[in-house]
């Protein structure tokens, strides 16, 4: 490959990476916005419950619990939407 072709390829890859970084930033902002709409007491309570469960189950079982959580993520998102609808003013 010629040097000009390599430079063009690197610039293209750099542009693709910049777009992916922008997507990650937007996704993070969306998650922050959605979490901001959930009552803090609910967030703290669910965090405390998750911490207590992982402490009680131990490291090996908490990993399997985490993998279960990843599989149940779509259901959790639906639950968060429902909670947000219940707490939002009519």
Q: Of 12, 10, 14, give the one whose Cα is nearest residue 2.
A: 10
Same domain, 90 and 46: yes
Same domain, 32 and 58: no
The CA distance from 77 to 8, in Å, is: 41
* Total of domains in the chain: 2
Same domain, 60 and 75: yes
Same domain, 28 and 51: no
Highest mean pLDDT range out of 29-38, 67-76, 78-87? 29-38
The CA distance from 3 to 80, in Å, is: 52
For 43, residues 6+ apart whose C-beta sits below 8 A from its C-beta are 35
Could you list the residue range(s) of the whole structural domain that residue 29 is in? 1-36
pLDDT tens digits for 8-46?
A: 999 999 999 999 999 999 988 888 888 788 888 887 778
Same domain, 70 and 86: yes
């Amino acid at each position: 490959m010629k040097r000009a072709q390599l430079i063009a390829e690197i610039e293209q890859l750099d542009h693709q990476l910049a777009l992916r970084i922008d997507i990650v930033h937007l996704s993070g902002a969306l998650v922050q916005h959605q979490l901001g709409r959930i009552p803090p007491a609910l967030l703290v309570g669910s965090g405390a419950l998750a911490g207590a469960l992982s402490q009680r189950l131990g490291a090996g079982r908490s990993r399997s619990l985490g993998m279960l959580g990843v599989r149940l993520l779509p259901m959790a998102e639906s639950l968060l939407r429902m909670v947000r609808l219940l707490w939002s003013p009519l």
